[in-house]
Amino acid sequence: METKDQKKHRKKNSGPKAEKKKKRHLQDLQLGDKDAGKRNLKAFAVQSAVRMARSFHRAPTNSSSGDGASKVGKRTLIQGLIRNFTRQKLTEIRSPVTIVSGKKRRLTIIECGCDINMMVDLAKAADVVLMLIDASFGFEMETFEFLNIFQVHGFPKIMGVLTHLDSFKHNKKLKKTKKQLKHSFWTEVSRGAKLFCLSGMPHGEYQNHEIHNLGRFITVMKFRPLTWQTSHPYILADRMEDLTNPEDIRTNIKCDRQVSLYVIKRSTLEK
């Protein structure tokens, strides 16, 4: 039995027995004496549980399909704008969303993926474009492709939005990156183009005051008529419904169909 005055057994860290145990342990790991100093058991361990949780919340999981700019946070931004204008939380977005932003203005928000066909279609009808840029990665190929498409189709108003700024741990590197991205964005779009910064996602969502400032800027923005859009008529429909009698389709699959289009926006050719 142990008494209060008796000390507990301590393992030896020096001496011939300790050296033998150390060599035996290195032989089991297939490491020599020279490689023993290079091996750090805590090299890839979690240093801070709070920091690890923030890194998991940083990348939004509800993004569009495809590679490239799919993890930049487009759908999370759309959900934040909808919550800012309607005070309602929309968990799933399946189609273009139209919201009322003022007495005489409605906004139709459409998410654009990395598909080149979708980029061309939206470039023909968009009045303002929110171009999200991952600050931790910089400009991607999809960004330059989208800008080239806009130059061909009239070049509407473009605003840049920097995301994933919380991935920078040092303010000096953050300021330098923001400055470089701002000048690169001005070179590609125009000097003085607006560039918003979303600092981070502390709880899986962007901060309310940043989304409020972005939404307010969009609300008071004035749109100029684009010559390309007025000279190229188009129709932008929200959804399509087939009103054909199912019996007619059953008897003749190639019969004439009656289709209903719910138009969001249209442009007619000026005379």
Q: Answer whether residue 68 shows pLDDT above 70.
A: no
**16 occurs within a structural domain:** no
* Residue 110 tokens, joined: 């459409």
Q: For residue 211, give the 3-state DSSP assignment.
A: helix
205 plus 118 within the same structural domain: yes
Amino acid at 143: T
H/E element, 28 = helix 16-28
Least confident of 65-74, 77-86, 206-215, 250-259: 65-74
173 plus 256 within the same structural domain: no
Residues 6+ apart with CB under 8 A from 178: 135, 162, 165, 197
pLDDT-derived band at 64, boundaries 50, 70, 90: very low
**4 occurs within a structural domain:** no
pLDDT tens-digit profile of 158-193? 888 988 888 888 888 888 888 888 888 888 888 888
* Residue 140 tokens, joined: 């991607």
Domain holding 245, by residue range, is: 236-267
**9 occurs within a structural domain:** no
Largest CA distance in the chain: 106
Pick 237 or 5 by higher pLDDT.
Answer: 237
Share of the chain above pLDDT 90, in %: 7
189 plus 59 within the same structural domain: yes
Q: For residue 19, give the 3-state DSSP assignment.
A: helix
169 plus 253 within the same structural domain: no
pLDDT-derived band at 23, boundaries 50, 70, 90: confident
62 plus 161 within the same structural domain: yes
For position 56, what pLDDT does the model report? 47
Q: Which residues of 20-49 are buried (b: 16+ CB within 10 A; e: fewer)?
A: eeeeeeeeeeeeeeeeeeeeeeeeeeeeee
**Measured distance CA(124)–CA(150) in Å, rounded:** 8
CB 160 within 8 A of CB 194: yes
Number of domains in the chain: 2
216 plus 247 within the same structural domain: no
**CATH number for the domain including 172?**
3.40.50.300
113 plus 242 within the same structural domain: no
Q: Answer whether residue 66 shows pLDDT above 50.
A: no
Whether the CA torsion 188, 76, 223, 269 is positive or negative: it is: positive
Phi-psi domain of 73 (left: phi exceeds 0; alpha: psi -120 through 50; beta: other) = left
- Does the pTM surpass 0.75? The reply is no
pLDDT tens-digit profile of 98-108? 888 878 888 88
For position 271, what pLDDT does the model report? 43
DSSP secondary-structure letter at 130?
Answer: E
Q: What are phi and psi of 108, to 5 degrees?
A: -110, 115
> Pairing mode, if any, of strands 128-134 and 157-163?
parallel
128 plus 262 within the same structural domain: no
**Measured distance CA(49)–CA(55) in Å, rounded:** 10
Q: Answer whether residue 25 shows pLDDT above 60.
A: yes
**259 occurs within a structural domain:** yes
Q: Answer whether residue 62 shows pLDDT above 60.
A: no
248 plus 135 within the same structural domain: no
CB 50 within 8 A of CB 64: no
177 plus 242 within the same structural domain: no
